[in-house]
């Protein structure tokens, strides 16, 4: 049995990864370390709380003593770091917590891996570290060689963490890999991000706030395809390497919003154009050739199928997102674990 630490496993992608790993690897045990910030939701993991191959630990990756204790107790075989402040808009309002969690938290984990005997470490990064591409050059894509060129405090903090991970590899021989993925969507996506916000607002009869003219382009990937890519990198990725993950599913924000409304059978009158995001990146587009050629990865889910499945998931799991929007999910940890 191998034990993997998944930090940030109560968030969107981390929780999907936990379910993916437990389903596809019967010889894997997963420990989640998550601070349960506003973005962490223990309800998402509630079906696993009695599973002998699963353990949940509430804790902060920046808390060095707690992290080192956990590493000593568990003797991890690998660490996958999803824990982060992840929302660009919040980073514009309150940058400091992004630097603390995303950079200093990553450093604490790298040190713990080093102390633990060079434990395998995978950093979940983002295509946002490459900045943006122009809207009128559809021939351009981000490759692993594209220079780092960040726009928001969020992307700058993720880039800082990536550089630190690479520095630990070069200086201390750390056993690391990094993945940079495009925009994910799917189940358990916190409804402050574009797709779940638009789905749930439309279901509630609220307005759909599109920034600027809605022309910005994102490259969407169904979350399960991101999970399978990270799994392959853990199994066969070359140490010290960066891997870009994406599925060539570029859509403008307006196209995405209109597709959601069509799936819900609603007209477009609820769309409202609001003030643009400061420093708003124009276009993201990943070239995933390295993932395909080196690791044989390819996405399974087209955008049309994935969006249909996602809309259906939010229709079938109304309790989950209503608890998030009402704030009731924040009480779940206390209900389950008391005041510990």
- Taking the C-alpha atoms of residue 14 and residue 20, their distance in angstroms, rounded to an integer, is 10
CB closer to ligand NAD, 40 vs 261: 40
Q: Is 218 in the site for ligand DAU (CB under 6 A)?
A: yes
Q: Which residues pair with 220 in a beta bridge?
A: 183
The DSSP H or E segment spanning 217 is strand 217-222
- Give 99's DSSP letter: I
Candidates 34, 127, 132, 162; binder of ligand DAU (CB under 6 A) is 127
Strand 176-181 with 208-211, pairing: unpaired
Q: Is 194 in the site for ligand DAU (CB under 6 A)?
A: yes
Stretch that binds ligand DAU, among 48-56, 130-138, 170-178, 190-198 (CB under 6 A): 190-198
CB closer to ligand NAD, 55 vs 266: 55
Q: Of the listed 34, 43, 128, 231, which one is catalytic?
A: 128
Give the shortest CB-5-to-ligand DAU separation in angstroms: 21
CA angle 329, 276, 124 (to 5 degrees): 50
**Using CB distances below 5 to 8 A depending on partner kind, what does residue 60 bind out of ligand DAU, ligand NAD, none?**
ligand NAD
CB closer to ligand NAD, 3 vs 270: 3
Q: Is 128 in the site for ligand DAU (CB under 6 A)?
A: yes
Q: Which residues pair with 39 in a beta bridge?
A: none
**Using CB distances below 5 to 8 A depending on partner kind, what does residue 12 bind out of ligand DAU, ligand NAD, none?**
ligand NAD
154 labelled catalytic: yes
- Taking the C-alpha atoms of residue 85 and residue 95, their distance in angstroms, rounded to an integer, is 10
Q: Which residues pair with 30 in a beta bridge?
A: 4, 54
SS3 254: helix
The size of the chain, in residues, is: 340
Contact, 321 vs 200, CB < 8 A?
Answer: yes
CB closer to ligand NAD, 8 vs 187: 8
The footprint of ligand NAD (CB under 6 A) covers 7-8, 10-14, 34-37, 39-40, 60-62, 82-86, 101, 105, 124, 126, 158, 181, 183-184, 190
């Amino acid at each position: 049995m191998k034990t993997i630490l998944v930090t940030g496993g109560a968030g969107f992608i981390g929780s999907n990864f936990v379910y993916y790993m437990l389903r596809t690897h019967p010889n894997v045990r997963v420990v989640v370390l998550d601070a349960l910030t506003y973005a962490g939701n223990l309800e998402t993991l509630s079906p696993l709380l009695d599973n002998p191959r699963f353990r949940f630990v509430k804790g902060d990756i920046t808390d060095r003593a707690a992290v080192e204790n956990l590493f000593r107790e568990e003797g991890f075989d690998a660490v996958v770091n999803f824990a982060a402040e992840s929302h660009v808009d919040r980073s514009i309002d309150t940058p400091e917590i992004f630097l603390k969690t995303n950079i200093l938290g990553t450093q604490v984990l790298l040190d713990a891996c080093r102390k633990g005997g060079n434990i395998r470490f995978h950093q979940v990064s983002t295509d946002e570290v490459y900045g943006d591409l122009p809207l009128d050059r559809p021939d351009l894509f981000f490759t692993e060689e594209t220079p780092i060129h960040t726009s928001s405090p969020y992307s700058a903090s993720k880039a800082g963490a990536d550089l630190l991970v690479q520095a630990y590899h070069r200086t201390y021989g750390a056993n690391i890999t990094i993945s940079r993925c495009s925009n994910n969507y799917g189940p358990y996506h916190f409804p402050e991000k574009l797709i779940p916000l638009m789905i749930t607002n439309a279901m509630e009869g609220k307005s759909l706030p599109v920034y600027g003219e809605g022309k910005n382009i994102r490259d969407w990937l169904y979350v399960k395809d991101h999970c399978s890519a990270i799994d392959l990198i853990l199994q066969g990725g070359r140490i010290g390497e960066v891997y870009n993950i994406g599925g060539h599913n570029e859509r403008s924000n307006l196209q995405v919003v209109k597709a959601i409304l069509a799936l819900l059978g609603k007209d477009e009158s609820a769309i409202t154009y609001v003030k643009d995001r400061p420093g708003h990146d124009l276009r993201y587009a990943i070239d995933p050739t390295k993932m395909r050629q080196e690791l044989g990865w390819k996405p399974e889910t087209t955008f049309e199928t994935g969006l249909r499945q996602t809309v259906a998931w939010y229709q079938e799991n109304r309790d989950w997102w209503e608890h998030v929007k009402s704030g009731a999910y924040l009480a779940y940890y206390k209900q389950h674990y008391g005041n510990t």
